[in-house]
């Protein structure tokens, strides 16, 4: 067996609507599926949302809001994303800083979502 891609991941959140509003500012779009379940779609992936205390089974052993650390690649220059985030009132915790991504060097901004998950917004620098 070989893993070929990430289909989705799950974030446990205190307030799904607050999380959706935050991630929509990052260019994701709300998706409803199944029996009223919520997700955030971007590209060929999605983030499913579980509300803390009413998680969908099966779930992580200790689902907790604020325990995730995500890196999201953006289209376009990081400076434009930084201006957009700042104009929207999103606090940037760190950056821009250079890091090593899965596909090569990246330049990143770090911020927090409504549950205090660490969200890294990155542009690929090329090889």
- Residue 79 among the catalytic residues: no
Rounded CA gap, 51 and 29, in Å?
Answer: 18
Q: How far apart are CA 37 and CA 101, in angstroms?
A: 31
Catalytic residue among 79, 120, 123, 124: 120
How long a stretch of residues is the chain? 127
- CA pair distance 89, 4, nearest whole angstrom: 37
DSSP 8-75: EEEEEES-HHHHHHHHHHTT-EEEEETTTEEEEEETTEEEEEEETTSPPSS--SS--TT--EEEEE-S
Catalytic residues, which ones?
A: 120
């Amino acid at each position: 067996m070989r893993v070929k891609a990430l289909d989705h991941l799950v974030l446990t959140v205190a307030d799904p609507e607050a999380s959706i509003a935050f991630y929509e500012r990052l260019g994701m779009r709300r998706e409803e599926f199944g029996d009223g379940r919520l997700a955030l779609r971007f590209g060929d992936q999605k983030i499913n949302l579980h509300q803390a205390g009413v998680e969908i089974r099966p779930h992580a052993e200790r689902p907790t809001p604020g325990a995730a650390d995500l890196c999201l690649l953006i289209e376009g220059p990081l400076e434009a994303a930084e201006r957009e985030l700042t104009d929207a009132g999103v606090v940037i915790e760190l950056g821009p800083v250079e890091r090593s991504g899965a596909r090569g060097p990246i330049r990143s901004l770090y911020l927090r979502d409504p549950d205090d998950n660490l969200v890294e917004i990155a542009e690929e620098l090329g090889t």
